[in-house]
Structure 1
């Protein structure tokens, strides 16, 4: 198979998904909890976003090498990884790695052009 290179950009779909889940959760909590407790949970949710979500590694590219070997580019650094398995959820694809220390990555459909997305899905089915 030819060398496949996938350049990833920032996903606005993922951000909108996370904000929608947070908004639904906060609306339900607003209906169930006193106002002061709701405000404290709102601040806690904002702090969790700033501390944890923004610190996730920004993957900028995936390069297919051979079999389950891939090169993962993250902000200038390149790592050679082996993919354990890939799960396609239509709007996003979850990529799991062989090493237990490596966290799985989520590739959303708006992170690459449509043609690359289609070829990435085909490649994911082949692995």
Structure 2
């Protein structure tokens, strides 16, 4: 496979996807409980999303070291983790970790990878997606 280092860029797809889901939730909430409760719930959901995005570590790069050992470079340091599977969901790749940690999965969105890196990741997901255990 050659170079299995993947630099990660900022994702716009992640925010658009979650914004669309948020708008759909607001529409369904408005139809079921009315305007007053909708405003309260929208405020609560917005605050929860803000807290979630602040706590999520920023990923800068990832690299495949061995059969199931990957290195993830975050804003606060480099972490080596054992990946038990890589799931390809077309819009994003989900890395499932063997040990249940605070973040038991890592999502890498399609637009965070270059075209060449995206193709490499799709091949890795096909080859090793179910056979890493």
Give the TM-score, by structure 2 length.
0.89
Query: What value does the CA root-mean-square deviation take over the aligned residues?
Result: 1.3
SS in 2 for 1:11: coil
Aligned partners of 2:124 and 2:66: how far apart in 1? 11
Post-superposition, which runs of at least 4 consecutive aligned residues in structure 1 deviate over 2 A? none
Aligned length: 127
Aligned to 1:111: 112
Aligned residue number for residue 7 of structure 2? 7
Query: Residue deviations 1:2-24, cap 9 Å, x none?
Result: 34100111211011010000101
Give the distance between the partners of 2:25 and 2:100, measured in 1 at CA: 31
- Indicate conservation of the 8 Å contact 1:69/1:83, yes or no: yes
The worse-fitting range, judged by mean Cα deviation, of 29-38 and 83-92 is: 29-38
Q: Which moved more, 1:1-10 or 1:42-51?
A: 1-10
Q: Separation in 2 of the partners of 1:90 and 1:49?
A: 24
Name the residue aligned to 2:81: 81
Unaligned residue ranges in structure 1 (runs of 5+)? none
Unaligned 5+ segments in structure 2 are 129-133
Say whether residues 1:124 and 2:125 are aligned partners.
yes
Q: Does 1:51 align with 2:43?
A: no
